[in-house]
Amino acid sequence: MDGKVRATDNAHIERFFRTIKYNKLYLEPSKDGNILYKQCHEFITYYNNKRGHSTHKYEVPSIIYQNVA
């Protein structure tokens, strides 16, 4: 963070945390840290490789990245 009380500094990551919680973790509660890790890994893989994003006209981020890189 850049400074004290800078709410917009973390806006993108806070939005991602909300997405992972409401779309995966709250729907499939886990009792074990290993299971939680696997759930997060599954969702992040899905989020980056299969889920279309409205910001990118519902294209998959990994495809966009490959085209730019």
Does 35 map to a domain? yes
What is the model's pLDDT at position 33?
A: 95
Residue with tokens 């709410």: 7
Does 3 map to a domain? no
Structural domain harbouring 58? 8-68
Backbone angles phi, psi at 53, to 5 degrees: -115, 130
What is the model's pLDDT at position 41?
A: 96
Name the DSSP class of 27.
T
Half-sphere exposure of 38 toward its Cβ, with a 13 Å CA cutoff?
Answer: 8
Q: How many domains does the chain have?
A: 1
Does 2 map to a domain? no
Does 56 map to a domain? yes
Amino acid at position 11, single letter: A
What digits encode the pLDDT tens for the residues 12-69? 888 889 999 999 999 999 999 999 999 999 999 998 888 877 777 778 888 877 777 6
Question: For the whole model, what pTM was predicted?
Answer: 0.71
